[in-house]
Structure 1
Amino acid sequence: MDVVSDAISTVRLGRPSSQRVRVAGRWCTRLAPYEGAGFHVVLEGSCWLLPDDGPAVSLGAGDAVLLPHGTGHVIADSPVDAAAVRRAVPFERWFDSGQPAPRPGGGEVEVLCGKYRLDRRLAHPLLAELPKVVHLPARVGSHPELRAAIDLLGRELEAQRPGSLTAVPSLLDLLLVYLIRAWLAEGRAGAWPVVLADPVAAAALRALHGDPAATWTNDRLAAEAGVSRPTLARRFTVLVGRPPMAYLTWWRLTVAATLLRDTPMPLAAVARQVGYASPYALSHAFARQFGTSPGRYRAGPGDPPSG
């Protein structure tokens, strides 16, 4: 496994949803904050995105925007003022009503809108450091995989075809991967683009994510990364923000929480899969990180602190 795939799989819940919206004239709709990530892709025309507590973003044809923290926002035909934002129609009501009919005052706009449900208790620091709005402007030759996924998803949503109920959720999952990958490739800000580009830190992370249950030590991990133990400790801690063994402990418990949430696996089996010698040892460490026992965590529905 790789860090990006693991970071997404631990937080993702259920099936993503999407709508293809076509509108013209004057329009303004609001999406309230939500527990998940959202995205918009402009397939035709142009519009504006106005996030809560952030500057307006102009979106043109081919632009993609990811809101990884579920930030509330408005999308509109123009950069509307505060009064218009307060009058914005909630997206669900606006979409269900069929959107306003075309009228003079603006050209046609087609936008692909979607949401992912996320379990923020298990957010990896890679996802946590994503900005409120990740804007990926359309540029010739940039992020061809992302552009291909957008094109395929747009076609699937254009008409009901055999297999679309399977194809659309899979393409939405692929789109999320490509959006995050594109942000990492841009590397404008944040620690994790640097972490994953560093050969030593990246090699150590691949090893830990590839087999978290292994009997890792600093010496063994340094050998895997091809450096001395002091070099690994220094570079990993500076870049990742915690020492290698502390990261391993955190990641093992995060994987355990994911298994408790998503599977009926007995606690003893969960403990073995994440490298703990007994259910008791896992329970003790789990309570220290999440503030609750594995059994209570599995039962829900509360939101224990991430610790």
Structure 2
Amino acid sequence: MKYFKWRDKHIERVQELSWQGQTAKEIADTMFKEIGVNLSQRSIRHYTSSKENIEQVVVNDKRRGTEIVINKDGSTTSSTTMQMTEEQAKDPEFVLRAHGFNPDDWDIVSARNNFWQQNSQENGLIDLYQSKITVKPKSDDELTPQDIANLFKADIKPYTVNQVARDTHNLVVPLPDLHFGITTLEDVKGHLDRLLELINNGYKTIVIEQLGDLFHSSQMWSSQTLKGTLLDEVNMVQAVEDAKQFFDVLVTASLKNSTTVHIKQMAGNHSANLEYMFMEYLKAKYPQAVIKNNIKFRDAYLLDNVGIMLAHGDLAPKNLPMLMANEFGGV
């Protein structure tokens, strides 16, 4: 993915256009005509709002008890009093919105929330926080959710094959905890070779089960689980490519050696969000496969007269038999 490198001459030009009264959209149009690059309005607003000769800008809103400080380095510090719960105080997106910042445009650099309780005539004892955060604009080279989706779907050409019933038997291929990122394609090559030998025997139905933690990290630019637990650093761009190659080989062979291919998705605690997007890639690439995508943590299905239950296993493992019975009685 190619990103635009801002230079002093570009910053000076957008500031000049801003002083002339042009809006961010008009500046973007002008810059495209001049340099042939589509600049985001977000980055234009960032550079037009932070002038080098301004040491610090302070804005006070006495009605809300809010102070906003625009720092010379382009960051912004906001202090205000608000009512929120302990859980909301731990939610970066909630805190950003409470201070009036769009989470799509800003990242938190630091945050401090001081708690106390106060009596209210209407609501009795309420929790209040003196909240102070420093934020910075997101840079253009950060991957957004749409960027990640585009990464998965890059250069997809739907793949179709002539499917031939080779047998009356079925094959289930369970794939839990591949953890691409820590795991490489070279690590699983031997397993993939043995799978292909088995698949090439031919089947009526082949079911591929992605059972969670397909990737080691839930993020592309930092290594952490869905809940934010920090992990060893891994190359997630390479992890996506390894997963694509692994499944491209596996799904293609399955389609060639069966009448029907099903792919089941099960959310894991490491990378459920990216797994969902990866299934969307497989849907686009292999329209012949029957793909059930979900963000749930349990599922079940019938394969002929056999009931098969799916779970990543990190949630309520001791209660799984009864949970399955209650949630999937038909199976």
Which protein has greater RCO, CA pairs closer than 8 Å, 6+ apart?
A: 1
Q: Structure 1 length as normaliser, TM-score?
A: 0.22
Q: Structure 2 length as normaliser, TM-score?
A: 0.21
Structure showing the higher strand proportion among its residues: 2
Structure showing the higher helix proportion among its residues: 1
